[in-house]
Amino acid sequence: MAIDGETETSARTEVGADEDGCTCAVDEQRPDLDDSHRDLRDDEFWRHVPAYAELSAAEFHDHRFQSRNCITSARKLREVLQDRASAAFYADVEAGVKRSTMSLRLSPYLLSLINWDTPETDPIRTQFLPLASRFRPDHPELHFDSLNEQADSPVAGLTHRYRDRALFLALDTCPVYCRFCTRSYSVGLDTEGVEKVHFGATLERWEQAFSYIRQHPEIEDVVVSGGDMYNLKAEQVELLGRTLLDIDHIRRFRYATKGPAVMPQKLVSDDDWVEAVAGVAEEGRRRHKQVSLHTHFNHPAEITAITQQGLNRLLERGVIVRNQTVLQRGVNDNVAAMRGLILRLSYLNVQPYYVFVHDMVRGVEELRTTLQTAIELEKEVRGVTAGYNIPAFVLDTMGGGGKRHVHSYEHYDREQGIGVFTSPAVRPGQQFFYFDPVDELNAAQQARWADADERLTMIESARQAAAH
């Protein structure tokens, strides 16, 4: 039988069995069958940045150098990059930082991975360095702390929304600051536009959270987040972990950190910190409890050979690592980037767990996508690898309804950009909304969103449609 002018035999190069044992032919002509996800960058990529040009690999990949030399202002960015960026670019960043809800903190590692020939469109720059020229007006229905975390907090820094789970915000600082942070209401330094609600890493505050958890035996699962536990000292990591393990009804908990994506050197050169995480996980296994680490990669370019070296240290000690990605316009809202990220994470034995539709966060409207984008991406990537390594595409509903699968809406008006969800297990009988970015809608719909009365009419219409 001929296939595009060739015989069936010549078009097929290999016969094997799939994961279910089914014998099938592998088609060499399929363009998606490539192994580029295995090609981890292992060059001296930092040398194209003037301030780092003379650094050896040992110097650059020391976690202490990375932490001490983070970019924290537009002025410092100019000092480090010098003539690698234009005066117009520096001015754009400076104006963007002044308008941002998040303070600036960018590791030398991430800075060096940015393509400084085209920084305006670089996916890493997009996530961490704000450009005022790219800003879009916030959606008119946006609310600070849109996920309602503070209202669901019985004690400071502990959110208890789901019956058997709690979110423990151990601290309010991070190794770097992401522009799109959901907790911009608390994380990082105060900015010109935002006075933060701070959660310091104090034992007194931690004890209040531990006391609440002890008094609620329905809680079996705790997410230890922040801020970022990467910034905790080794002894704090161990204290926190062993305290949770000592609570009988806690069956599992997760350390949440973006650290491996933004400063993997810590996993290579901070032995005490790695030992603390691995030791708690090992003790958990002895007690038949699960301790895992959840990290946060958004683009395959963030994953290099030093990333693999660091993550391998956790793998060698039996630490389970999962990943949660945020879907962002201009970063990973295309099939090639999302597919590459999933395959590269899988190659490193990091389980792609969630892809979150971007939350409604102040000052980053140009990063949000439509709900339809997430729905289409989920369809495209399902099947590129084993099912347990395909992430669930979800959104965290405004107002505290919790996570819902992107396909599970009760009503979605793509023209008006309104999605309506329900959350029977978390808040039965209530409706929760997701609103597409206004600038992604046609001109007529943008005009309606600009009119307060029309806006209320559209939302009420969507509410009624979802109810029926």
Q: Which residues are catalytic?
A: 161-162, 165, 174, 178, 181, 183, 359, 396, 403
73-74-79 Cα angle (round to 5): 95
Phi, psi of 464 (to 5 degrees): -65, -40
